[in-house]
Chains A and B, each alone.
Chain A
Amino acid sequence: MKQSKRAQIHMSETIAVLFIFFILVLFGSVFYYKYSEISFKQQQEEMFAKRAIDTTTKTLFLPELLCSKGESGAEQFCVDMTKLRSAETVFNNNKGYYFGMFSYANITVQQIYPEVVDGGVDTWIVYNNLKPDTTKIEPTYFIVTLKDETHQSEGKPSYGFGVVKVEVYS
């Protein structure tokens, strides 16, 4: 009788230990599942952010927009207004080519200075391809100079101050 009681106590002790052990394992599993889920989401976000960076970099160094100085190198962070004014037509006529480059994105250039007089254009849509079922938009802004060869003084072009806005859709 005494031995059976001792065995019972021993048994309940083992059950309690096993119970606690499984509770800990359960906690661990739940935690790991949550961690994996968050980690996956973060990875997706990182890939999306990388695409935003790639698209922005491609835009900033796009020969179709970049200022050039004859045979010397291109001017960094500079958009040629002459190219920009006809960019929308060029991009629309070659949609397939630019889709391979930018995928679903919206690229606009806005002139901040000099201020545009009433009725004038101060924003140019370079590329626009909206994803129908888009869930997320990641905008990136960059400041550029707007080189205008048509507005010269003493043979030198004028430079405006503008913003390039690149939005990528996922």
Chain B
Amino acid sequence: MSSRNKGQMEMAGLVVIVILITLGILFMAQFALKDEPSKKIFTRKELAASTMAALMKTTVVDCTGGPTQFPQIEGDLLDDCAVWGNEYSQYVCDGQPSCSFLHTKIEELLGETLGVWGKKYHFVSEKVSTGMSVFEEKIEGLNGNCEDRERDTSGDFYLPSGDGLVRSVLYVCE
């Protein structure tokens, strides 16, 4: 009887220890599984959208040859690039045809902002019908791109160009 009692008490002690250890593990798990801070998520999401909206709207001051004095990046230069390519480009900006200029300028503007803030990003502009990129080379950050990462998108920006629909999108990640 006495040894049975003792056994029961030991069992109870063991249960208490197991409960305490479980509580400890639960506490630690709560720390480990903490969500990404909401500010980071908000900033990155809005940043991708605002950057793309600003980029597409920007007007360029050093262009000649085309119908507009200050062509807009999306409405005029991207359209010119998608339709005519570098070879027959109507616009010459900073001594470059539209595709080359756009590649350089977009890379430069994103590098001076997102790149300096340590963000990874990549910019895609492709013809919807063929899925072919408008640019010959990729536009991505010095810190890397977001191809295999959890990323935020600016959302698709569609341009009805003379050569079909062009879809542009910016991906930003940490």
Contacts and interface: CB of A to CB of B under 8 A. Distances in A.
A154 interface: yes
Contacts of A28: 20, 23-24
Given A31-B27, A159-B59, A163-B113, A145 B53 contact: yes
A17 B12 CA distance: 12
B144 interface: no
B57 A159 contact: yes
A76 B154 CA distance: 14
B46 interface: yes
A9 B46 CA distance: 70
A144 B50 contact: yes
Interface residues of A, number: 37
Given A46-B38, A113-B58, A161-B55, A142 B46 contact: yes
B109 A158 contact: no
Interface string A124-167: 00000000000000001111110000010110101111110000
Given A31-B27, A140-B43, A154-B68, A145 B54 contact: yes
Contacts, number: 86
B112 to A, nearest CB: 6
Given A142-B50, A143-B47, A158-B61, A52 B39 contact: yes
A143 B38 contact: no
Contacts of A17: 13
Contacts of B46: 142
A77 B50 contact: yes
Contact of A24 (B17, B42, B57, B113): B17
A76 B20 CA distance: 54
A141 B13 contact: no
B54 A161 contact: yes
Interface string B7-42: 000000100110010011001000100000111001
Contact of B39 (A49, A142, A156): A49
A117 to B, nearest CB: 11
Interface string B67-86: 01110100000000000000
| Closest CB pairs A-B (n = 8) | A49-B39, A153-B69, A77-B50, A153-B70, A143-B51, A145-B54, A158-B59, A145-B57
Interface of B: 13, 16-17, 20, 23-24, 27, 31, 37-39, 42-43, 46-47, 49-51, 53-55, 57-59, 61, 68-70, 72, 105, 109, 112-113, 117
Interface of A: 17, 21, 24, 28, 31, 35, 38, 45-46, 49-50, 52-53, 56, 60, 76-78, 112-114, 140-145, 151, 153-154, 156, 158-163
17 contacts: A24-B17, A31-B27, A46-B37, A50-B38, A50-B39, A53-B43, A77-B50, A77-B54, A78-B57, A142-B46, A144-B54, A145-B57, A151-B70, A153-B69, A154-B68, A154-B69, A161-B55
